[in-house]
Amino acid sequence: MKALKLDRNAIGQWLSAMAGERDIYVPAPDGPAKGTWTLLTDYSMPEIKPGVPARPVKNFLFPQPETLLKFSTVPTDPNCCLPSEPEENGRKNVVFGVRPCDARSIGLNALACKADTYYQANMEKNAIIGLTCSQVCSTCFCSETGGSPMGTEGCDVSLTEIDGSYIARAMTERGEALLALAESSGKEVTDSDISAVEALEEKARAGSDEIRNPEEQLRAKDLMELYNAPFWQELADRCINCGACTFLCPTCYCFDIQDETLHGKGRRIRCQDSCMFPLFTLHASGHNPRGQKIQRVRNRFMHKMKYFPDRFGPISCVGCGRCVRDCPVNIDIREVMRSLLHI
């Protein structure tokens, strides 16, 4: 696969070349939009701080909200109540500066969304240009979840900063085509560039994390034994069911479907939902299968650490640390994972 060495200037030219056919989104700089992803309008290398922005990349794969269908509700309209798919504007995106954890989440969610044509279409629509991590934050734990600060999974192109320049490696055919647009401004990579990247990869592998491949250990454990573990109650006592973790989590993909109508025009939308909320499971009869907080708290962690790996293989957590960073009552998923591994 193609690889180029790009200095900041060359990145700017590359962004400008890609902007011809795609909208480019980058982590927003400090200011009112901080923490979100913003449309790039001046084509220079954006300042991307260490760690992940508050909003995960899933917002490009599950737009908030996403129109699934639209319909008329005017009774005299012959097409009344006949749903149709919304027209696409055809514009594609580049999501630039995606950290390895976020990039990896796209493929994990795709395991559950194989039959979901909208998710598949959004994967088509959004090209991912990753940026490996030269600095690991205190809340980061990607290596403990099967990822790496140097990871490229889910990226079309992966950038690694070395001495103020970037080694850009195409990881997919789509990435190859995008990187071709940088050919005129970039330089060929040298052997020493490649060995510098390999040295970083080696260093990432040699990290001193105590947990490796938790999914294998967790899959081997008895489901009901984990479910009945004594520590859930203590966690539930602290949790306020605010749902922040689920909205910030790149691998929480649960959603709600709702209909909206205004002046005879309607649409069926989907938006993120959270298993932290009692309404998530409430029956019309009033019965609620997860009516207690402990059931909801437990469901989120069990889904990530046991149900998902049992079904698909890997754990549904990429170690981005957003939930650790932003939980108002300091619940730490790393501790939960350790507790589960010790059962």
Partner 1 sequence: MSSTKNPYRPYPARLDNIKVETEDGNLKTFRIVLEDKADREAWKHTAGQFAMLSLAGKGEIPIGIASSPTEEGHLLFTVNRAGVVTTALHNMKEGDRIGVRGPLGNGFPVDTELKGKNIVIIAGGFAFTTLRATLIYMLEHRQDYGKITVIYGARTPGMLLYRDELEKWQARDDVDMHVTIDREAPGWDGLVGFVPTIAGQVAPSPDNAAALICGPPIMIKFTMPPLEEIGWTDDQVYLSLENRMKCGIGICGHCSVGPVYVCHDGPVFTRSQVQKLPIEY
Sign of CA dihedral 33, 317, 282, 236: negative
The H or E element spanning position 76 is: none
- Specify the amino acid at residue 44: S
Query: Contacting partner 1 (CB under 8 A), which of 58, 303, 304, 322?
Result: 303
- Cβ proximity to partner 1: between 68 and 162 the closer is 68
Query: Contacting partner 1 (CB under 8 A), which of 5, 92, 268, 334?
Result: 268
The answer to whether residue 282 forms part of the interface with partner 1 (CB under 8 A) is yes
Stretch touching partner 1 by CB under 8 A, among 44-52, 93-101, 119-127, 162-170: 119-127
Query: How large is the angle between the packed helices 333-341 and 293-302, nearest 10 degrees?
Result: 80
The H or E element spanning position 191 is: helix 191-205
The answer to whether residue 231 forms part of the interface with partner 1 (CB under 8 A) is no
- Specify the amino acid at residue 46: P
Residue pair 232/298 in contact by the 8 Å Cβ criterion? yes
Query: For residue 108, how many other CB atoms are within 10 A of its CB?
Result: 25
- Cβ proximity to partner 1: between 115 and 206 the closer is 115
User: In 3D, which of 182, 53, 60, 35 has the Cα closest to residue 118?
Assistant: 60
Minimum CB distance to partner 1, residue 254 (Å): 3
The answer to whether residue 74 forms part of the interface with partner 1 (CB under 8 A) is no
The answer to whether residue 93 forms part of the interface with partner 1 (CB under 8 A) is no
The answer to whether residue 121 forms part of the interface with partner 1 (CB under 8 A) is yes
Determine the 3-state secondary structure of 164 from DSSP: coil
Q: Is the peptide bond before 230 cis (omega within 30 degrees of 0)?
A: no
The answer to whether residue 283 forms part of the interface with partner 1 (CB under 8 A) is yes
Residue pair 336/119 in contact by the 8 Å Cβ criterion? no
Query: Contacting partner 1 (CB under 8 A), which of 201, 256, 326, 332?
Result: 256
Which residues of the chain form contacts with partner 1 (CB under 8 A)? 68-69, 71, 73, 80-83, 85, 88, 112-113, 115-118, 120-121, 124, 223-224, 227, 253-259, 261, 266, 268, 270, 273, 275, 280-285, 289-290, 295, 299, 302-303, 306-307, 310-311
